[in-house]
Chain A
Amino acid sequence: MRITTQAKQQTRQRLLKTGARLFRKRGFAATTTREIAEAAGIANGTLFNYFPTKESLALTLFAEALAGAEGDFVSRNGGGSVEEDLYAFIMAGLHRLESYRQYAGDVLATVMSPFARAGACPEAEEMRRTHLESVLEILQAHHIIEATAGDRDLFVQLHLYWTIYLGVIAFWSRDESPDHTDTLVVLDQSLRLLLGSLPTPSPDSSSQHEEVSRD
């Protein structure tokens, strides 16, 4: 029997929804792909046609949420300092990830760990790439990183950002303070640390943008 694109899409959505529900209910580690498939009403093997691992299923949930965050950021920001823009961009993502917070840390610890094998999880690679592209855009708009920056400089600077970003996500995923207030402070401190280590905008560009706070 031939399966239509629409039916495939529906199955994929059902798997994502079921996965999210079970992860939330039972925890990420305790949920198996078999249970997800059963609960979604499909054969276990069929699930792998859509998601090779449960991590990739979870990351797909995250990636879709973060795609929405990009829209939130663009519609509500602009004109602020680089620090404000990065802060708003990251917070928009955390808001979109809120419903996955309970297990986001477990998933990311597995696939986003600095020790994770490169290429082991294509969804993670894609999420990282998409996120860093947006960050690069913000940094370039504020002339923190010039479009002409060499590959090595770019790599180091973005790697530094990514490491700090993962630290913030890790903190947020375990933050028990009311309304995650501690995360607001940690993100602020982390961005100050990051921006303090990045190059100062050239005098020409700084006249068009607010100076980066380095205190």
Chain B
Amino acid sequence: MTDAPTTYPTPADALAALPAGLDEEIRSEAQQSLAQILEELTHRPIPVGRINRFWALGSLQARLALGYFAWWLRKGFISADASEAALNEQHLRAALRMLSTMGYMRGVVMKMGQALAQIPNLLPEQFLDVAGHLYFDAPPMHYSMLREHVRNELGADPTDVFDDFEPQAFAAASLGQVHRARLKGSGHPVAVKIQYPNIARTIQEDIRNLIALMFPMRLSNDWENLKVQMTDVAEMLDYESDYLREAENQEHARSLFTPEDGVVVPRVYEDLSTRRVLTMDYLDGLHLNAYRRTNPSQANCDRHGANIFKSSLRTWYAGRMTYADPHPGNYLFLPDGRLGLLDFGCCRRFTIEEWEYLKRVEEVFDKDDEALRLVLAESTDLPVERVETDRDRFDLLVKYTNWIWEPMRAHGVFDFGTDSYLERGMALYGEVVRKRYTRSKPVNTWISRCFIGLRVLAYHLKSRFDVGALYLEERKAGYAE
């Protein structure tokens, strides 16, 4: 089920990715700094003041971070004119400092990696490949360490709590690793997700560091909004580290589906779960890449694509939460044709205010762009007057929102497998990022991640289905409840 990593971005890749238009002196300094940072990350001594950093696990993540930031720098400099050079130099130094810290930031970096890897064409292909493997290839805890951790959590060794506990993890996630086992007595197969010790505390600390390190890079008045968004990310990551909360989300989601839906959510065993250990039914199936290698029929791809969207729409409308992490590692294609949904750590339950806001956005689904502009003013937390004075921003955001809604407005089967639809969306998203029009209500971060992730999954499956009908059906049922 797990693909071995093939290539990693090398320091040379990252250095080569530095912008061509840079002043030679700055470029040389940047190259030296990058090389030095990589060297330091590889041979980092124990950070005495931050003993809880996962420094020893950081080499792959550090390399990835290096790649991301080289990319970020290149993008930033491409659009720069001469007057911005001095400011960019400052940004560059800040980014390098941040990069050197991120070698420790296991959880955060992996989360960023997963988010970025969802977006084809926005990252160089080799970074995308490596980031894709992070879904499954986090460095594991060895059994001796895991045993101590489980003993603390469940009160006994894994082999005493379960039958046939497999010491080798069969899957790894950003915050934990997953082992196969059987329930004592019944022999029922289960998956036991075990969180890396300490990661919950380090996440908050890492985000605080990240915000502090980004401070010199504040680019405009949107800095405060960015800070709010990052704080929101920190909060969600903190939620994600609480497996009891995840269990609650998972059971909530499980209650939303019937056997006829063709979507299955594994049952959680509460008596064998804690904040750091989550025991659930084991689902035997294939992840996206492995499934695609079986050359599935178009009908199966269409059905799975529709089920992926249905699961998201159902949790949204009936469950009032967003499944904000729709990456390939969270879906299993089962041999009987059903779709398995995994990992409910990154779910956001909508508050009443958020739900009302989302309803207001939906009210303009069938209306013209002017109505949409007004809703987008609320969405970006900007005064309505800005709709007129900041036309470029709102024109772009309208285009991006229309792209999101395009499949639902198609009145019939929509083909997600064409390059043009996804490319247009990625180009628009890239422009939003490049122009730094990312100011937004925090909830939109998660929604956007969900929307893009779903479309990328459907693209990879080459799915064709009537998502508009599905959307209307689920919305109607959800609002009726």
Q: Which of A31-39, A100-108, A185-193 lies on the face that meets chain B?
A: A185-193
Interface residues of A in 76-104 (CB under 8 A from B): 77, 80-81, 83-85, 87-88, 91
Contact B144 A193 (CB under 8 A): no
Contact B56 A181 (CB under 8 A): no
* A-side interface residues, number (CB < 8 Å): 26
Residues of B contacting A88 with CB < 8 Å? 144, 147
Chain B nearest Cβ from A160, distance in angstroms:
14
Q: Is B373 an interface residue (CB 8 A)?
A: no
Contact A91 B144 (CB under 8 A): yes
Residues of B contacting A81 with CB < 8 Å? 142
Asked, given contacts A181-B149, A182-B198, A185-B197, whether A80 binds B144 with beta carbons under 8 Å apart, the answer is yes
In the complex, residue of chain B having the shortest beta-carbon distance to the beta carbon of A86 = B144
Please pick, from B45, B59, B144, B198, the residue contacting A185 in the complex, using a CB distance under 8 A: B198
Please pick, from A80, A171, A215, the residue contacting B56 in the complex, using a CB distance under 8 A: A215
Interface residues of B in 135-152 (CB under 8 A from A): 139, 141-145, 147-149, 152
Asked, given contacts A192-B56, A215-B57, whether A182 binds B51 with beta carbons under 8 Å apart, the answer is yes
Q: Is A184 an interface residue (CB 8 A)?
A: yes
Contact A87 B142 (CB under 8 A): yes
User: What range describes how many residues of B lie at the interface?
Assistant: 20 to 34
In the complex, besides A83-B144, A182-B52, 18 extra interface pairs with C-beta distance below 8 angstroms are: A84-B144, A84-B145, A87-B144, A177-B198, A182-B51, A185-B51, A185-B197, A185-B198, A186-B51, A187-B145, A188-B56, A188-B145, A189-B46, A189-B54, A189-B55, A190-B46, A193-B45, A193-B46
A81 to B145 CA separation, bound complex (whole angstroms): 12
Chain A nearest Cβ from B29, distance in angstroms:
29
In the complex, residue of chain A having the shortest beta-carbon distance to the beta carbon of B141 = A188
Residues of A contacting B119 with CB < 8 Å? none
Question: Could you list some 10 contacts between A and B, CB below 8 A?
Answer: A80-B142, A80-B143, A84-B143, A84-B144, A84-B145, A88-B147, A171-B51, A184-B149, A187-B145, A190-B46
Residues of B contacting A184 with CB < 8 Å? 145, 148-149, 197
Contact A85 B60 (CB under 8 A): no
Asked, given contacts A91-B148, A179-B152, whether A185 binds B143 with beta carbons under 8 Å apart, the answer is no
Residues of A contacting B56 with CB < 8 Å? 188-189, 192-193, 215
In the complex, residue of chain B having the shortest beta-carbon distance to the beta carbon of A164 = B46
Chain B nearest Cβ from A193, distance in angstroms:
6
A179 to B60 CA separation, bound complex (whole angstroms): 29
Residues of B contacting A85 with CB < 8 Å? 144
In the complex, residue of chain A having the shortest beta-carbon distance to the beta carbon of B199 = A185
Asked, given contacts A184-B197, A189-B46, whether A84 binds B142 with beta carbons under 8 Å apart, the answer is yes
Residues of A contacting B143 with CB < 8 Å? 80, 84
List the 10 shortest-distance A-B pairs measured between CB atoms, nearest first.
A179-B152, A87-B144, A88-B144, A192-B56, A84-B144, A84-B142, A181-B197, A184-B197, A189-B56, A185-B198
